[in-house]
Amino acid sequence: MQCIVNRRAQFSASHRYWLPELSEAENFEKFGAGAKFPGHGHNYVLFISLAGELDEYGMVLNLSDVKQVIRREITSLLDFSYLNDVWAEFQETLPTTENIARVIWRRLAPHLPVVRVQLFEHPELWADYMGNSMEAYLSISTHFSAAHRLAHPDLSLEDNTEIYGKCARPNGHGHNYHLEVTVKGEIDQRTGMIIDLGALHQAIADYVVEPFDHTFLNKDVPYFAGVVPTAENIALYISNLLRSPIQNLGAKLYKVKLIESPNNSCEIYCTDTESNTVSAVDSQPVLVRL
């Protein structure tokens, strides 16, 4: 039986975003504070996913052996290091989160059956790499606070209460929404980036956080005047809002995850082609409610 097991590791390291072929002004324009000398550091958290068949002892791999391989090949070399200098790969392509994940895969693949490397630079920024050449995934998280009422405009209070329960109460209720946005793209051979991170943060702020934060969604966001603002519909609308801005930045929106509460979340996987018209009606994402 095929099974995937995951091993966690961590290391602390510093890095700097700086290309010697660019001037100081050009480096600061491209990388912002990341270009400051001598660099900055992170407590990285690493998850290695490994696939294989269960053996007679009920294991895919001996995790003690896995631990030793990860320590020998990765963490003992990266921990308390300056990443720009530690490996030759980071001389060619800067050690961004997504590129570090890619290089870790390349160094582990000869020793372990790796199917995914996930690297957290901090809890609000992480990358996933699945072994597909220079393609990687970058995720950032943010939040907004908003109120809503779950009630279909064509139904009575009684009918809405039958469908939505307490959520149909006339004065609504609120949530601290947690939003995760994942983009997919090719790692640039020099910058190590799949997207300008600052520009991505700004797009999410401009199109989602600022218009949604501290609002009553049904009344303050015109779209929800006629659409019930369930977590699913909010996530779908966010995916439609972000698709084009992210594409204009050179990447593709892959997933929107909206966490309404610790017990309730949903995910929209943006699987439609570039030629599709993006709207709430004819966009065809895949929704997973968790």
- Give per-residue pLDDT as tens, 194-252: 999 999 999 999 999 999 999 999 999 999 999 999 999 999 999 999 999 999 999 99
Of 73, 167, 186, 232, which one is the catalytic site residue? 167
Tell whether 141 and 177 lie within a shared domain. Answer: yes
Tokens encoding 7: 């091993």
Per-residue pLDDT, 56: 87
Active site residue 270: no
76 has a pLDDT exceeding 70: yes
One-letter amino acid of 207: Y
Tell whether 103 and 165 lie within a shared domain. Answer: no
How many angstroms separate the CA atoms of 83 and 17, rounded? 10
Of 97, 131, 165, the residue that ends a domain is 131
Whether the model pTM is above 0.85: yes
The lowest-confidence range among 18-32, 101-115, 241-255, 261-275 is 261-275
Give Cα separations from 63 to 6, 104, 217 (angstroms).
9, 18, 48
Tell whether 195 and 283 lie within a shared domain. Answer: yes
Contact (CB, 8 A) for 177 and 259: yes
Tell whether 121 and 209 lie within a shared domain. Answer: no
Confidence of residue 286 (pLDDT cuts 50, 70, 90): low
Tell whether 117 and 201 lie within a shared domain. Answer: no
Q: How much is the average pLDDT of 56-60?
A: 89
Confidence of residue 289 (pLDDT cuts 50, 70, 90): low
Tell whether 165 and 268 lie within a shared domain. Answer: yes
Q: How much is the average pLDDT of 35-46?
A: 97
Express each pLDDT in 263-277 by its tens digit. 999 999 997 544 333
Tell whether 109 and 209 lie within a shared domain. Answer: no
57 has a pLDDT exceeding 90: no
Tell whether 111 and 192 lie within a shared domain. Answer: no
Tell whether 287 and 145 lie within a shared domain. Answer: yes
Of 40, 122, 173, 214, which one is the catalytic site residue? 214
Q: What is the largest CA-CA distance in the chain?
A: 68
Active site residue 3: no
Q: Which domain holds residue 213?
A: 132-290
Tell whether 120 and 143 lie within a shared domain. Answer: no
Question: What is the b/e burial string over 212-234, where b = at least 16 CB atoms within 10 angstroms of the residue's CB?
Answer: beebbbbeebeebeebbbbbbbb
Of 112, 131, 150, the residue that ends a domain is 131
Of 107, 131, 155, the residue that ends a domain is 131
Confidence of residue 278 (pLDDT cuts 50, 70, 90): very low
How many angstroms separate the CA atoms of 46 and 163, rounded? 43
- Please state, rounded to an integer, the average pLDDT across all residues of the chain: 93
Residue 228 belongs to domain with CATH number: 3.30.479.10
Tell whether 158 and 287 lie within a shared domain. Answer: yes
Give Cα separations from 262 to 127, 142, 266, 282 (angstroms).
23, 15, 11, 30
Express each pLDDT in 114-161 by its tens digit. 999 999 999 999 999 999 999 999 999 999 999 999 999 999 999 999
Tell whether 285 and 165 lie within a shared domain. Answer: yes
DSSP one-letter string for 58-114: S-SS-HHHHHHHHIIIIIHHHTTEEHHHH-THHHHS---HHHHHHHHHHHHTTTS-E
How many angstroms separate the CA atoms of 143 and 111, rounded? 39
Number of domains in the chain: 2
| Partner residues linked to 289 by β-bridges | 266
Of 98, 260, 266, 270, which one is the catalytic site residue? 260
How many angstroms separate the CA atoms of 198 and 195, rounded? 9
